[in-house]
Amino acid sequence: MTKPIPGPHPDPHPPSTFTPPPKACDAHCHVFGPADRFPFAPDRAYTPPDSGLEDFQRLQERLGLSRAVFVQASCHGTDNTAMVDALERGRGRYAGVAMIDASFTDDDIARLHQAGVRGTRFNFVAHLGGAPDMESFWSIVPRVADRGWHIVLHFDAVDLPDYATLLDTMPCPYIIDHMARVPVVAGVEQEPFQALLRLMADERCWVKLSGAERLTADGPPPYDDVVPFARALIEAAPDRVLWGTDWPHPNVRHMPDDGDLVDLLTAFAPDEDTRNRILVTNPEKLYDFFG
């Protein structure tokens, strides 16, 4: 039996430190189920409660956001149906990052592209199953790169040096999820984080400022210990950082209030121009929004 996990905060507060600009984008979030319509994968590691599009749209209204990038989560495996349904119902306001494998045909990929998918994701994190089959990885990457997609990579920062050759040979832009899950207790001078900063010198490399509730050593907000890491990444490449809530926050130690995560952006990026870049301009470079 898979592990059930709790649902998101039931009543997140609106942002209190700034008003998100028009077309602000949550660039990392998920839809789970509803399971009676979109069943979870039989081999999933966890079972989330339903957190569907209607729930997400209420959240966006509360937070003052209007666009989103739905990232396929492992609990749905390579069945991207729930995500594609959300994209189609979004009428151009949402984009997607799929999970696919070598069984996907060119027609399958074309249908995902038509729905609004612009990337595919691979997990390398040990506790979520570790690295993918590399033969399959390299059979998929060039096929999606030819469509103008990017690759989303979920790493633990300590493993980045092991994949230096892989990253150096990527034929398209790639995004490092959740600030590479860097252990903040070791400080910004730690070698795993310095390795991430060096990667940001590569024009192909992007990073998501997400997962503060996972990275913090403290648990509850205000997540102050994460701020120096986010600021360093923004300084390194302000035009190649994205931000996301990671709603509905699967497998976290402490369930965050998404309003706190929006407010945290003023600590990450105190000036309005940089926040607008992160929330609007940067996502528009990777995703085709029509609303």
Catalytic residue set: 246
Cα angle: 222, vertex 53, 10; to 5 degrees: 40
8 Å CB contact between 117 and 87 = yes
Cis peptide before 192 (omega within 30 of 0): no
8 Å CB contact between 254 and 220 = yes
DSSP state for residue 113 in the 8-state scheme? H
